[in-house]
Amino acid sequence: MKPTESEMEILQVLWNKGQCSVREVFETLDKKDVGYTTILKLMQIMHEKKMVIRDTSSKTHIYTANINKEKTQNQFLNKMIDTVYNGSTSRLVMQALGNHKASKEEIDLIKDYLNQLENK
């Protein structure tokens, strides 16, 4: 039920773009070392698992994500908090913030968010 890493990459594209042909997904994630049919196969498997739905009315099938983005992200997040951060959400968050990846703008966003949380 939990998407694999590759499936996650594909879902990412589908969530962003709404709907895509296999080729669009393939080109969006231009992974140097994977062939077109690999992505095709993965998406077919995802279809079997009902992670995506597809419109087969024309030759080129059009895929759409069929699982909830936030729910799926949360699933990964919780797993990660458990196995990587020993159950501590705050440690994860602080590490994410101390990270070079978090920009000033992002930190401001988070402050606003915390204030909102507080006022409830």
What residues line the site for DNA (CB under 7 A)? 4-7, 21-23, 33-38, 40-42, 44-45, 56, 58-61
Taking CA atoms, 39 is separated from 29, 91, 97, in Å, by 10, 35, 34
Cα separation of 96 and 49, whole Å?
Answer: 32
Under 8 Å between Cβ of 14 and 7? no
| 68 makes contact with a second copy (CB under 8 A) | no
> Pick from 23, 34, 35, 109: which binds a second copy (CB under 8 A)?
109
| 30 makes contact with a second copy (CB under 8 A) | no
| Min dist. Cβ of residue 16 to DNA (A) | 19
Question: Which partner from the list DNA, a second copy, none does 61 bind, CB cut-off 5 to 8 Å by kind?
Answer: DNA
106's CB contacts (< 8 A; 6+ apart) are none
